[in-house]
């Protein structure tokens, strides 16, 4: 057939960690649709279905050109019947009826608004919806009790749903660096998460802290948090202390996704860069107002993690993402290599021992994978 002869056929390995996925996505119309269906599944706690759509979207993200013909999908991995149907719908009609009806559904809209509150997951949102709560106004007048995270999330709702820019991430990085170095000189901080993969915006700022001397990093997080708090940089924080070293049995096989680092989930108060053209004015009541009437700061979600240097490479790899890339790395390790990969260590089940690594390159080598740099982990 003529169509078939013209169609470019792609060849793609089946694990996302075997592929190079840059931010240069040639199939955003298709991947946005599949990602929305993945999100709908995740919000409905259908995780298996969610992963299936994420995997399908990831395959299309790494293709070198736009898909124009269903024939081009022959031989591609991870595309199930459902994903095929969605793609076909878009190629033939320019839009997917399932995506359209999802976007118009009251339940989906409510789930999006409510889980857009920091500290609110799918379970809580579902409970509220069943209580007739579909928006923020209804939540505020409902008398539902909110925990501290959710109260902060509601208070800073607009700011936290505004993308964080790279410039803002760098500004936060400098503040955290000042805090860290003032309580522990020679400590090192690294920007991780989406910004390390080259994204220009993100939903938060992720930072990894370590120290070249093993053990020096113990107890660092509470000190950093106190410093930040004393300078008024924190609108909210929740710190969890490392239980990995403290566990009585000593280091064990890392359980897939569990994290035992010192961590801090926080909301920063970030001073905005004031444009020279808009000088501050002094109002009669003595309160400083900005000429334009807008606030001089914004709230930003920040995740801090502290790792001992011996686990740094694993933490770096585990926190750089993307989430699907991480999931696929662990699946590859388990299914193809009989190894357990976590953000602390890599365990070889056949040799019954941990495999050491001081760089991400070494971890990929242990796993028998070609090295994929952060900018190509955007699966």
Residues that bind ligand 8DG (CB under 6 A): 193-194, 199, 202-204, 206, 259, 318-319, 321-323, 326, 343
89 is a contact residue toward Mn ion (CB under 5 A) = no
Q: Which is catalytic among the residues 89, 159, 170, 303? A: 303
263 is a contact residue toward Mn ion (CB under 5 A) = no
- Supply the minimum distance, in Å, between the C-beta of residue 325 and Mn ion: 13
Q: Which is catalytic among the residues 126, 159, 206, 259? A: 206
Q: Which is nearer to Mn ion, 87 or 202 (CB)?
A: 202
The partner in contact with residue 323, picked from ligand 8DG, Mn ion, none with C-beta cut-offs of 5 to 8 angstroms by kind, is ligand 8DG
| C-alpha–C-alpha distance, residues 40 and 123, integer Å | 13
The partner in contact with residue 153, picked from ligand 8DG, Mn ion, none with C-beta cut-offs of 5 to 8 angstroms by kind, is none
Name the helix (H) or strand (E) containing 331. Answer: helix 323-337
- Supply the minimum distance, in Å, between the C-beta of residue 167 and ligand 8DG: 15
| C-alpha–C-alpha distance, residues 302 and 116, integer Å | 16
- Supply the minimum distance, in Å, between the C-beta of residue 31 and ligand 8DG: 15
Rule CB under 5 A: which of 184-213 touch Mn ion? 193-194, 202, 204, 206
The partner in contact with residue 259, picked from Mn ion, ligand 8DG, none with C-beta cut-offs of 5 to 8 angstroms by kind, is ligand 8DG
Q: Tell me how crowded residue 181 is: count the other CB atoms within 10 A of its CB.
A: 14
Q: Which is nearer to ligand 8DG, 22 or 144 (CB)?
A: 22
The DSSP call for residue 80 is -
Annotated catalytic residue 303: yes
- Supply the minimum distance, in Å, between the C-beta of residue 297 and ligand 8DG: 20
Residue with the closest Cβ to Mn ion? 193
Distances from the Cα of 73 to the Cα of 116, 243, 367, angstroms: 34, 46, 29
Looking up tokens 């982990």, which residue turns up? 377
- Whose CA is closest to 254, among 371, 327, 347? 347
- Whose CA is closest to 155, among 115, 117, 204, 121? 117
Q: Which is nearer to ligand 8DG, 96 or 237 (CB)?
A: 237
The partner in contact with residue 318, picked from ligand 8DG, Mn ion, none with C-beta cut-offs of 5 to 8 angstroms by kind, is ligand 8DG
303 is a contact residue toward Mn ion (CB under 5 A) = yes
The partner in contact with residue 199, picked from ligand 8DG, Mn ion, none with C-beta cut-offs of 5 to 8 angstroms by kind, is ligand 8DG
Q: How do strand 188-192 and strand 234-240 relate by DSSP bridges?
A: unpaired
The partner in contact with residue 118, picked from ligand 8DG, Mn ion, none with C-beta cut-offs of 5 to 8 angstroms by kind, is none
| C-alpha–C-alpha distance, residues 32 and 116, integer Å | 18
The tokens of 177 are what? 């660096």
Q: How do strand 262-271 and strand 288-289 relate by DSSP bridges?
A: unpaired
Q: Tell me how crowded residue 192 is: count the other CB atoms within 10 A of its CB.
A: 22
- Supply the minimum distance, in Å, between the C-beta of residue 269 and ligand 8DG: 19
Q: Which is catalytic among the residues 204, 213, 259, 348? A: 204
* Phi–psi pair at 366, nearest 5 degrees: -55, -35
- Supply the minimum distance, in Å, between the C-beta of residue 361 and ligand 8DG: 18
Are 344 and 244 in contact, with CB atoms under 8 Å apart? yes
Annotated catalytic residue 89: no
R_g (Cα) of the chain, nearest Å: 23
| C-alpha–C-alpha distance, residues 76 and 133, integer Å | 42
- Supply the minimum distance, in Å, between the C-beta of residue 293 and Mn ion: 31
> For the stretch 51-64, what's the b/e string if a residue is b when 16 or more beta carbons lie within 10 angstroms of its beta carbon?
bbbbbbbbbbbbbe
Q: Which is nearer to Mn ion, 89 or 303 (CB)?
A: 303
- Whose CA is closest to 123, among 111, 138, 113? 111
Catalytic site positions: 204, 206, 303
* Contact set with Mn ion (CB under 5 A): 193-194, 202, 204, 206, 303
């Amino acid at each position: 057939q003529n169509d078939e002869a013209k169609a470019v056929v792609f060849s793609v390995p089946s694990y996302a960690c075997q592929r190079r996925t840059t931010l240069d996505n040639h199939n955003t119309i298709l991947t946005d649709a599949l990602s929305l269906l993945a999100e709908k599944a995740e919000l409905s706690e259908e995780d298996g279905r969610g992963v299936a759509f994420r995997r399908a979207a990831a395959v299309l993200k790494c293709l070198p050109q736009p898909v124009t013909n269903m024939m081009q999908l022959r031989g591609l991995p991870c595309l199930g019947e459902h994903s095929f149907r969605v793609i076909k719908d878009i190629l033939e009609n320019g839009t997917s009826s399932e995506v359209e009806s999802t976007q118009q559904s009251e339940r989906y809209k409510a789930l999006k608004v409510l889980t857009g509150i920091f500290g609110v997951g799918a379970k809580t949102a579902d409970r509220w919806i069943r209580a007739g709560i579909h928006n923020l106004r209804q939540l505020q007048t409902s008398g539902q009790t909110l925990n501290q995270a959710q109260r902060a999330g509601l208070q800073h709702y607009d700011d936290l749903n505004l993308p964080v820019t790279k410039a803002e991430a760098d500004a936060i990085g400098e503040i955290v660096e000042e805090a860290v170095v003032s309580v522990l000189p020679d400590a090192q901080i690294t920007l991780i998460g989406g910004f390390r993969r080259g994204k220009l915006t993100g939903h938060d700022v992720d930072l990894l802290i370590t120290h070249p001397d093993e053990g020096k990093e113990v107890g660092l997080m509470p000190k950093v948090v106190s410093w930040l708090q004393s300078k008024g940089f924190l609108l909210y924080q929740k710190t969890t202390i490392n239980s990995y070293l403290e566990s009585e049995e000593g280091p064990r096989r890392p359980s897939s996704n569990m994290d035992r680092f010192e961590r801090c989930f926080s909301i920063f108060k970030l001073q905005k860069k004031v444009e020279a053209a808009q000088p501050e004015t002094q109002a009669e009541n003595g309160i400083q107002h900005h000429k334009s009437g807008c606030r001089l700061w914004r709230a930003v979600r920040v995740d801090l993690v502290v790792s001992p240097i011996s686990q740094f490479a694993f933490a770096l790899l585990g926190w750089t993402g993307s989430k699907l890339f991480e999931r696929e790395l662990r699946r590859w390790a388990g299914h193809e290599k009989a190894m357990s990969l976590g953000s602390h260590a890599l365990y070889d089940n056949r040799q019954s021992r941990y495999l050491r690594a001081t760089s991400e390159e070494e971890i990929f080598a242990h796993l028998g994978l070609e090295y994929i740099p952060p900018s190509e982990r955007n699966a």
